[in-house]
Amino acid sequence: MSGIGAFLYATFIIIAWLVTIYTLNFFYLSYQSQHNIRHQKAMNKKLKPINDNSLPVITIQLPIYNEKYVAVRLIDAVCKIDYPKEKLQIQILDDSDDATSQMIRIIVDHYTFKGFDIMYLHRNKRSGYKAGALKAGMKIAKGEFISIFDADFIPPKWFLKKSIGHFSDPKVGLVQCRWGHLNENYSSLTEAQAISLDLHFLIEQKAKSLTHLFMNFNGTAGIWRASCINDAGGWHTSTIVEDLDLSYRAQLKGWKCLFLEDIIVDAELPVQINAAKRQQFRWAKGSMQVAMKLLIDVTLDRKIPIDTKIQAFIQLTRHIVHPLFLTQFIIFPMLLALDYKLYAVSWSPITVILIYIMMGPATYLYLIRKIWGDKWKGKARQYFYLIFFATGISVNNTVAVFEALFIGKNEFLRTPKFGVIKKGDNWKNKSYVLPFTKTTLLEIFFGLYGILAIFISIFSGNPIFVPILLLQTIGFIYIAYLSISHSSFNYNKSKKRIQSVSQQDLFLPNQSSEIVEKTSVELAERLNTKVYIKTIKITTNGKSIVEKSMKPRYYKLMLFGILSILAFGAAVAYYGYESTIYPLDKAVGYLSRAEAAQSPEAVADYIKPVKSLLPNDGNPVWAFPNSRTDFGLIQNELDAMLLRANSISSLELHSAAYNTGLADLHNSIKIIEYNLIEATPYLYVSFTNIVLSAIWIAIILFIFALMKRGREKFKEYENA
């Protein structure tokens, strides 16, 4: 048993060192971002003002896919940018297959009439996803520079004139601007994402921009030199993070990348946890894909400094921290349950806790105080939300890492947005709301495992670790709860997609008549066009679908059922631990005291409660039982020890026979203690526990299957 404990402990320590390396690297970048004033001044000196006559031609690319709630907002903002019309080309790269396309056609014709050079490119097939759309747009791009905005961004009017001057250095191939947040204070979820992105830009991106370290393009709110894109090989579709891929290939070619801290482009943060998880999944998986694709090239390039190579390795592989963290989270309670000696001196746990605090909350709060000054308190609150978010999202990102390493699937899943800005804005009844996935089951598992770990920490005499385990467990439960509560259960929407807009009615040339959302009609009214609304009643088998109120109450009942089963499972796990495993732990504690006792009477006093705590017979090792873990034999040995203790007590105190008998008794107790420690893990995987766990998981999967079947049924109604 000591061999298994030693292996787990060695694995735990190795993981701890690996995670520490990634953490220390963040502190290194923090130092670089705050202490590179000389480089900052040199960069500002190269910035030259540009008058309107010398402004270059710029192409703005807007890749869009099913974004009916934010697409018009984006196009409006782009067309309001202060830049000469004759030097500005706008490309709408639309891959949508819903009402978004009709809305965009309307607004594009509107701005074309006003004299904008605005093009609408629609692909019926999303080959290459976003990278494929950008690649298609590059073939007909007029601009010397290419600016890119995702659908959820709102560029300010002064964006181009303020940022284009940074290309005065001919070696600069990319300028990346900072992301702002339209709905930062909408919820704890958006606040956690906001502080995470802020730290990424103000520490990581800033540090790399001010040094020779490789920096990445964030996919939007940036400007590329067209010749840089072409020199680097253009947009590749082999990964799902085309931005990271291209920026690394460009820097391998010798191009520079700049981050502009003072130019902020506001964007909408995901308000649904399942959308945020999808975004995090894409970033984690894509980073590992780029690592497998380009790390060898970076490593073998002799022109790249060694510290740049190290930073590139850490950046591209940093999401490996998530599976490492989960592995450590699983191992730690096992070591406590095995009563493995984790530390040599009693004050070691306090030292570990202090190091954890210093390398985590204390350092982050210091950085937040230094970056935000008087406004640091609000950001500090957001950081504590981030602790829970980062812990819980590790399950989702671990799945992403494994998918990148072992599964060849390369599907780009977009992050849906709902046009949510103010606290009161509702999104749950809108299209694009995502259901939770099977990953939520894993999050629930880790939440329950964390609760078990807390009990083990308490009952094993290590309550000092409870605060850390509690924070991590809350993170898993927090993400699992949001995943379920944010899912698309409400189909009470009466499906009135019922506004027919004809070509003649809208006065739009070359437009096909089709059914569009009410938003399109409102848009047409905004453009002062004449609209005739026709109410279409869709029927199937003689029954109206549109007028039928879809109120699947059983969805709520199923959600209640899942939560009830989880609560029941947690209660059963607690009861099982208290009635089966805790008595064994308690018995081991008594035996430890008996082993240290200095008189046979004291030894007997400690052995007696051990007998009542252990079963009278049976063997927890049900697959391949052995005599060491047979409770019947252990009870017999305890009876024999009591008789021996009684015999020793009749001998002369401190005589040779007395001391030899007591030492022999101590050795026998140590053997029984090791036998009980060996038996403890098998109680977790007893035949009964395996059967109950299988039934418990089967019930949850059955409910998931029913929910999926119901969701597909309602999708059939919607499609009809």
* Domain final position from 242, 272, 302: 272
Residue 673 and residue 649 in contact, taking contact as beta carbons nearer than 8 Å: no
pLDDT band at 299 (very low <50, low <70, confident <90, very high): very high
What are the backbone dihedrals phi and psi of residue 65, each rounded to the nearest 5 degrees, phi first?
A: -145, 110
Note whether 219 and 231 are same-domain residues: yes
Note whether 376 and 464 are same-domain residues: yes
Residue 619: CATH number of its domain: 1.20.120
pLDDT band at 619 (very low <50, low <70, confident <90, very high): confident
Does some domain include residue 713? no
Q: Among 178-182, 213-217, 511-515, 562-566, whose mean pLDDT is lowest?
A: 511-515
Note whether 73 and 173 are same-domain residues: yes
Note whether 582 and 646 are same-domain residues: yes
Q: What whole-number distance in Å separates Cα of residue 239 and Cα of residue 527?
A: 40
* Domain final position from 245, 272, 299: 272
Tell me the C-alpha to C-alpha distance, in Å, between residue 154 and each of 86, 151, 258, 414, 419.
22, 8, 21, 18, 11
Over 80: is that where the pLDDT of 111 sits? yes
Note whether 153 and 280 are same-domain residues: no
Per-residue model confidence as pLDDT tens digits over 518-532: 444 455 555 544 433
Per-residue model confidence as pLDDT tens digits over 561-613: 667 777 777 777 777 778 888 888 888 888 888 888 888 889 899 999 988 88
* Domain final position from 248, 272, 296: 272
Note whether 358 and 403 are same-domain residues: yes
Q: Of the listed 94, 243, 339, 630, which one is catalytic?
A: 243
Q: Which residues in 474-490 are b (16+ Cβ under 10 Å) and which e?
A: bbbbbbbbbbbebbbbe
Q: What is the pLDDT of residue 690?
A: 72
Which of 120, 121, 116, 106 is CA-nearest to residue 81?
116
Q: What is the pLDDT of residue 137?
A: 96
Contacts of residue 615, Cβ cutoff 8 Å, sequence gap at least 6: 631
DSSP string, 164-189: GGGGGSTTEEEEEEEEEETTTTS-HH
Q: What is the pLDDT of residue 234?
A: 96
Which of 118, 38, 637 is CA-nearest to residue 629?
637
What are the backbone dihedrals phi and psi of residue 153, each rounded to the nearest 5 degrees, phi first?
A: -100, 155
| 447 CB-contact burial (10 Å; exposed 0-12 / middle 13-18 / buried 19+) | buried
Over 90: is that where the pLDDT of 135 sits? yes
Does some domain include residue 10? no
Residue 224 and residue 145 in contact, taking contact as beta carbons nearer than 8 Å: yes
Note whether 85 and 233 are same-domain residues: yes
Residue 562 and residue 703 in contact, taking contact as beta carbons nearer than 8 Å: yes
Per-residue model confidence as pLDDT tens digits over 624-635: 777 888 888 998
CB atoms within 10 A of CB 716: 11
Q: What is the pLDDT of residue 9?
A: 87
In the chain, the amino acid numbered 384 is F
Q: What whole-number distance in Å separates Cα of residue 397 and Cα of residue 281?
A: 5
Q: What is the pLDDT of residue 283?
A: 96
CB atoms within 10 A of CB 342: 17
Question: Rounded to 10 degrees, what is the CA torsion of 355, 356, 358, 359?
Answer: 110
In the chain, the amino acid numbered 391 is T
pLDDT band at 719 (very low <50, low <70, confident <90, very high): low
Q: What is the pLDDT of residue 711?
A: 59
CB atoms within 10 A of CB 349: 15
Per-residue model confidence as pLDDT tens digits over 642-678: 998 888 888 888 888 888 988 998 999 889 988 888 7
Tokens of 350: 């306090």
pLDDT band at 541 (very low <50, low <70, confident <90, very high): very low
Does some domain include residue 561? no
Per-residue model confidence as pLDDT tens digits over 545-560: 333 444 455 556 666 7
Note whether 240 and 385 are same-domain residues: no
Q: What whole-number distance in Å separates Cα of residue 570 and Cα of residue 589?
A: 26
231 labelled catalytic: no
Q: What percent of the chain has pLDDT over 70?
A: 83
Over 90: is that where the pLDDT of 143 sits? yes
* H-assigned helices in 210-362: 226-231, 242-252, 273-300, 306-317, 321-337, 348-357
Over 50: is that where the pLDDT of 498 sits? no
Higher pLDDT, 580 or 156: 156
Q: What is the pLDDT of residue 525?
A: 53
Does some domain include residue 422? no
Q: What is the pLDDT of residue 557?
A: 65
Per-residue model confidence as pLDDT tens digits over 302-345: 999 999 999 999 999 999 999 999 999 999 988 888 777 776 55
Does some domain include residue 24? no
Per-residue model confidence as pLDDT tens digits over 437-483: 889 989 999 998 999 899 888 887 888 889 999 999 999 999 999 99
Q: What is the pLDDT of residue 584?
A: 85
Per-residue model confidence as pLDDT tens digits over 35-74: 876 555 555 556 666 777 789 999 999 999 999 999 999 9
Q: What is the pLDDT of residue 510?
A: 38
95 labelled catalytic: yes
Note whether 457 and 507 are same-domain residues: no
Note whether 314 and 442 are same-domain residues: yes
Does some domain include residue 717? no
For 178: left if phi > 0, alpha if psi spans -120 to 50, otherwise beta; the answer is beta
pLDDT band at 348 (very low <50, low <70, confident <90, very high): low
For 115: left if phi > 0, alpha if psi spans -120 to 50, otherwise beta; the answer is left
pLDDT band at 710 (very low <50, low <70, confident <90, very high): low
Q: What percent of the chain has pLDDT over 90?
A: 50
DSSP string, 200-237: IIIIIIHHHHTSSS-----SSSEEEEHHHHHHTT----
Task: Kindly give the pairing relationship between strand 58-64 and strand 153-154.
Answer: unpaired
Residue 72: CATH number of its domain: 3.90.550.10
Note whether 155 and 241 are same-domain residues: yes
Does some domain include residue 6? no
**Measured in whole angstroms, how far is the alpha carbon of residue 527 from the centre of its chain?**
41
Does some domain include residue 673? yes
pLDDT band at 1 (very low <50, low <70, confident <90, very high): very low
pLDDT band at 493 (very low <50, low <70, confident <90, very high): very low
Note whether 284 and 255 are same-domain residues: no
What's the predicted TM-score (pTM) here? 0.76
Domain containing 509 equals 499-544
Rounded mean pLDDT, 686-701: 73
Which of 279, 507, 543, 514 is CA-nearest to residue 414?
279
User: Token match 């493995």: residue?
Assistant: 340
Q: Of the listed 95, 109, 266, 630, which one is catalytic?
A: 95
In the chain, the amino acid numbered 434 is L
For the chain, what is the mean pLDDT?
Answer: 84
**How many structural domains is the chain composed of?**
4
pLDDT band at 213 (very low <50, low <70, confident <90, very high): very high
User: Token match 């905004």: residue?
Assistant: 526
